[in-house]
Amino acid sequence: WSSRDFPWTIKLEANNKKVFGNHSFRPNQREIINATMSGCDVFVLMPTGGGKSLTYQLPALICPGITLVISPLVSLIQDQIMHLLQANIPAAYLSANMDWPEQQEILRELTSDYCKYKLLYVTPEKVARSDVLLRHLDSLNTRDLLARIVIDEAHCVSQWGHDFRPDYQGLGILKQKYPKTPVLALTATATASVKEDVVQALGLVNCIIFRQSFNRPNLWFSVIPKTKKCVEDIDKFIKENHFDECGIIYCLSRMDCEKVAEKLQEYGHKAAFYHGNMDPAQRASTQKQWSKDEINIICATVAFGMGINKLDVRFVIHHSLPKSIEGYHQECGRAGRDGQRSSCILYYSYSDYIRVKHMISQGVVEQSPSVSGYNRFNNSGRILETNTENLYRMVSYCENDVDCRRFLQLLHFGEKFDSANCQKTCDNCCTVNSFVEKDITNIAKQLVELVKSTGQQYSSSHILEVYRGSLSQFVKRHRHETLSLHGAGKHLAKGEASRVLHHLVTEEFLVEEVKKSDIYGSVSSVLKVNESKVQNLCLGGHTITLRFPSSA
C-alpha cells in the first residue's frame, strides 16, 4: 500500500501540501489512504496525535461524493469542522441538539446532485435514531454519492473496551445497507479482543488492518504511592518539574476535582476544575481558558480529554487509579503531542481500588464524554465483569515495581516492547537494576488460610496487620494475636505481603467484597475466599511466582 503509483497519487501529494499544509505523510497515512481509496474496509490503530483525521479528510477532498463521519462528541465534531472550513473544505454536521430548520437546510443540500459538502459528520445517536438521516443516506447511496463511511473512536463499539457506547453497536447497519461503500474505522486504543469485536460488530469485510507502535518515547511514566498529602506532593512535583507549564490532573469524582483545584489555587497555581456536573457553557469556557494558557492546570474527570487539540500538555497526573490500562494510556496520550518530553505520574493507593470498584458496581463512575455529557457506567453482567477485569489489570500494573512501564502498557495492546529501549524513561527502569522471581505460593496459602480462619469478615489491611504480627488494639480486641498465623509474615520485606495479597485479589483467589459507603462516600470492604480457585492452590496443584526488585 505504500506505492506511489496509484491513479490518485499526484493529486494526493498536491492536496496534502496545498490544502493541509503538510510537507510529507506521517507513518501509515499514505498506506491507509491508498487502501481506503482502493475500496477496501480498513481498521486503523494509531496513537493519539498520529494524524488519523488526514486519512479520511484528504480522500474526502479528492473523491467524488460525500464522506460520512461518525464521531462520538459534538465538541470534537465542531472543532474538526472549524478546521475544515478554515482550509476551505465544505463540511457540515447533524446532531440532535441542532435547531430543526438548521438540520433541514443541511438535509436539503444532501438531496442535491451537486451537494457542496465533502464531509458530513454525525453522532452515533443520529444514525441509531434518525430515520430521516438513513433515508438521505439511502438516497446518496442510490446516486453513488456515498463515498466512504468513517467510524472515529471505533473502540466505542466494543463491550470489551473501556469506553463502550451502546449506540455505536448499531453502526453495523451501515455496512448491511451500503455493502459497497468502504468503511474506515479509526481508534487510538484497542486490544486484540476489542479489535475483533469492532471488526465483527461493524461487519467489515476482508478488512485491512494498520497498526503502529503505541510507544510514545517522549512520555515519562511513574507510579508513586499515594499518601494523605497527595495534593502537596503534586504541588511540589509541578513546581520542581513543570512550573507554569500546562497539564491535566485526572480525578475520580467531581468533588475530588473541585477539592484538588482549590488546594492547588491556594498553593499559587492557575488551576480550575472540569467535570460533567458543570453547565456546558461553563465547561466550554474553562476549556477555552486552558487552551489559551490563562489556566495552567485543569483538574478533571475523564469527561475532559477526547478531542483536545492542545499540543504542549507537559504533564498528565492521575490523582486516583484509572479504570483500565486502555483508558490510562489514552489519558496519558494527551501529554506531549508536540513530541517534547512530558511526565505521566500516577498516584496509587490500594484503597482507591476499593473506591473505584464500588463506584463501578454502583454505576456512578463518570466516563469519557458522550453526546449526552454524562454517561452512567452500564453495570450489567458482562460489562461489569469487563470493567472489574480491566480494573484488576490496572492494579497489577501499579503494584508491579519491577517491569518496564512501557513494556507492561504495550503488552496490554499485544505489542512486544524490548525494555532496553525504554532508556530509563520510567520509574521501574530507573530504579531496578535486576529482579528476582520468587515463589510466593506458601505466603499465598498462609494469607488465604488467615482470611478463612478470621471468618472472611475483615479488610485486607487488617489481614496484613495480623500477618505481620501487629498488636494493635483492634487486633487484640478480636483476639487475632492468638491465631497461629499471627506474625507469620514478620520476616518479609516491606510491601511484600501486601503485594502478594493484592495479587491474590487480581488473580481472583480472594474477592474484595465492597460494603456500602458511608455518608461521606468512603467505602469499606472485606476479603472473601474464592473456594473454587483456592482449592487447587491448597491441594498443591498451583505455584505462584512474582517478580521483586533484587536488593543487589
Q: Which residues bind ligand ADP (CB under 6 A)?
A: 22, 25-26, 29, 46, 48-54
Least CB distance to ligand ADP at residue 21 (A): 8
Q: Closer CB to ligand ADP, residue 55 or residue 159?
A: 55
Q: Closer CB to ligand ADP, residue 54 or residue 91?
A: 54
CA–CA dist 551, 449 (Å, integer): 29
CA–CA dist 16, 57 (Å, integer): 10
CA–CA dist 189, 126 (Å, integer): 24
Q: HSE, CB side, 13 Å, CA atoms: give it for residue 229.
A: 5
* Nearest one of 260, 276, 377, 278 to 323, comparing CA atoms: 377
Least CB distance to ligand ADP at residue 502 (A): 34
Least CB distance to ligand ADP at residue 241 (A): 25
Asked if residues 373 and 280 have their Cβ atoms less than 8 Å apart, the reply is yes
Q: Closer CB to ligand ADP, residue 156 or residue 527?
A: 156
Residue 471: strand, helix, or coil:
coil
Q: Strands, E, within 36-176: which ranges?
A: 42-45, 66-70, 91-94, 119-122, 146-151
Least CB distance to ligand ADP at residue 363 (A): 30
Distances (CA, A) of 54 to 19, 148, 188, 539, 551: 11, 14, 14, 58, 50
Q: Closer CB to ligand ADP, residue 138 or residue 338?
A: 338
The residue length of the chain stands at: 552
Adjacent-strand bridge partners of 273: 299
Q: Closer CB to ligand ADP, residue 48 or residue 388?
A: 48
Distances (CA, A) of 399 to 59, 346, 403, 442, 524: 45, 12, 10, 20, 20
Q: Which three cell numbers stand for residue 349?
A: 493507593
Least CB distance to ligand ADP at residue 29 (A): 6
CA–CA dist 123, 128 (Å, integer): 9
Q: Closer CB to ligand ADP, residue 16 or residue 506?
A: 16
Asked if residues 40 and 218 have their Cβ atoms less than 8 Å apart, the reply is no
The three-point CA angle 168-169-175 to 5° equals: 95
Q: Closer CB to ligand ADP, residue 152 or residue 512?
A: 152
Q: Closer CB to ligand ADP, residue 157 or residue 443?
A: 157
In which residue are the cell numbers 454536521 written? 93
Least CB distance to ligand ADP at residue 20 (A): 7
CA–CA dist 37, 447 (Å, integer): 59
DSSP state of 28: T
The burial of 28, by beta-carbon neighbours within 10 Å (0-12 exposed, 13-18 middle, 19 or more buried), is given as buried
Least CB distance to ligand ADP at residue 43 (A): 14
Q: Closer CB to ligand ADP, residue 25 or residue 315?
A: 25
Least CB distance to ligand ADP at residue 86 (A): 11
Q: Closer CB to ligand ADP, residue 310 or residue 533?
A: 310
CA–CA dist 549, 552 (Å, integer): 9
DSSP state of 302: T
The most distant pair of C-alpha atoms in the chain lies apart, rounded to whole Å, by: 86
Q: Closer CB to ligand ADP, residue 83 or residue 129?
A: 83
Least CB distance to ligand ADP at residue 337 (A): 7
Least CB distance to ligand ADP at residue 31 (A): 13
CA–CA dist 376, 367 (Å, integer): 7
Q: Which three cell numbers stand for residue 10?
A: 499526484
The burial of 229, by beta-carbon neighbours within 10 Å (0-12 exposed, 13-18 middle, 19 or more buried), is given as exposed
Q: Closer CB to ligand ADP, residue 339 or residue 495?
A: 339
Q: Are strands 435-439 and 545-549 parallel, antiparallel or unpaired?
A: antiparallel
CA–centroid distance for 482 within its chain:
46
Least CB distance to ligand ADP at residue 324 (A): 19
Least CB distance to ligand ADP at residue 52 (A): 4
Q: Closer CB to ligand ADP, residue 61 or residue 488?
A: 61
Q: Closer CB to ligand ADP, residue 29 or residue 343?
A: 29
CA–CA dist 486, 537 (Å, integer): 21
Least CB distance to ligand ADP at residue 157 (A): 17
Least CB distance to ligand ADP at residue 11 (A): 16
Helices 496-506 and 441-453 meet at what angle, rounded to 10? 80
Residues in contact with 32: Cβ distance below 8 Å, sequence separation at least 6, in sequence order: 1, 42, 44, 55, 184, 210
